[in-house]
Amino acid sequence: MSLSREQIGSCLERGFTRRHLGRMATLLSAGAALPFYNEYAMAQDAEQRMMRGAGGARRAVDPDAVRISSNENPLGPCKEGLEAIAKLATKVIVDTAGMPSPEAIDFLSKWQKSGKLVADLEWTRLTAWREPLAHLFDDPVRKSNFAHFDSLEIDHTETKPPMQALYLAAWLSSPGKAKVTFRQASGFGDGIQRVSFRSDAESIEFERTSAECVTLWSTAGRERKYSFGHPNVTALMTEELAVAGYDPAFNAALDRARELLS
């Protein structure tokens, strides 16, 4: 999806605030190529213009770019502008962190019913949990796969299961519809602290053992430690925007999360 000069001009005339322009950028699909320049980028550009007289090189700024200055719209957020951008978008990326899970699922469902592709940064934050487990089960010599585990427990710090815990439980339990139990527990920071799943042949524990580390134990004799990072929104958006089009893993997890919540 791309915006014409007329569409960009129309959007700017509506009086977006700087904050809302930044948020609206997340509504554009992965195929959108509308560049945004903030104050720092524009300051660099101005400095490079001054250097032209001294023979310095000037980095070209796309003439169609939306330049975000520090000026705020005195009228406040523009609902009409947000709706105009939403109509143009083919994919909507939201962040349900902090939202009650029933409210978050209803919110995501409304976007899906409107015909949009949907993504959630709470799902993206699970990469630190999902990658080690995926590598574990990708081992061709393993005798137990996801489908063999019939019991799953997830510890989290919230009073009720947050979306992140629901997503992880959904991803792990989908193959064999394993029984899922959620428990509140203290730990290192907010969110998921431990996941354990069991079969007749094996038990696996994957637990945060410090603010920057998670440890995996298995009764099959395996133990391994992994670094546990805290990616910022920019890193999360970069990862999510790399997924072009429909994401079957996320959508299957969202469907299963609805079942777990009902």
Q: What is the pLDDT of residues 76-132, one digit of tens each?
A: 667 777 777 778 888 899 999 999 999 999 999 999 998 999 999 999 999 999 998
The pLDDT mean for the chain works out to: 78
Instruction: Give the span between the Cα atoms of 255 and 213, in whole angstroms.
Output: 30
Task: State pLDDT tens for residues 43-77.
Answer: 566 556 655 545 555 555 566 655 554 445 556 66
Please report the pLDDT score of residue 134 as a whole number: 85
Tokens for 158, please give them: 């919230």
Please report the pLDDT score of residue 126 as a whole number: 95
Please report the pLDDT score of residue 223 as a whole number: 86
Tokens for 59, please give them: 């980095």
Ranked by mean pLDDT, the top range of 4-18, 93-107, 214-228 is 93-107
Tokens for 255, please give them: 């469907």
DSSP string covering the chain: ----HHHHHHHHHT---HHHHHHHHTTS-TT----EE-HHHHHHHHHHHHHGGGT---PPPPTTPEE--SPPPTT---HHHHHHHHHH-SEEEE--TTS-HHHHHHHHHHHHHTT-EEEEHHHHTTHHHHHHHHHHHT-TT-S--GGG--EEEEEESSSS--HHHHHHHHHHHTTTT-EEEEEE---SSSSEEEEEEE-SS-EEEEEEEETTEEEEEETTS-EEEEE-----HHHHHHHHHTS-S--HHHHHHHHHHHHHH-
Please report the pLDDT score of residue 70 as a whole number: 46
Task: State pLDDT tens for residues 167-201.
Answer: 999 998 887 788 999 999 998 988 999 999 888 88
Strand 213-218 relative to strand 117-120, pairing: unpaired
- In this prediction, residue 230 has a pLDDT band, given cuts at 50, 70 and 90, of confident
Please report the pLDDT score of residue 87 as a whole number: 81
Phi, psi at residue 31, to the nearest 5°?
Answer: -85, -10
- pLDDT of residue 147 exceeding 70: no
Any idea how long the chain is? 262
Q: Of all residues in the chain, what percent carry a pLDDT higher than 70?
A: 68
Q: How many CB atoms lie within 10 A of CB 216?
A: 18
Instruction: Give the span between the Cα atoms of 77 and 16, in whole angstroms.
Output: 7
Q: Which of 139, 197, 189, 199 is closest to 164 using CA atoms?
A: 189
Please report the pLDDT score of residue 185 as a whole number: 94
For the chain, list the domains and their CATH numbers: 5-89 (no CATH), 123-227 (3.30.360)
Residue 226 buriedness (CB in 10 A; 0-12 / 13-18 / 19+): middle
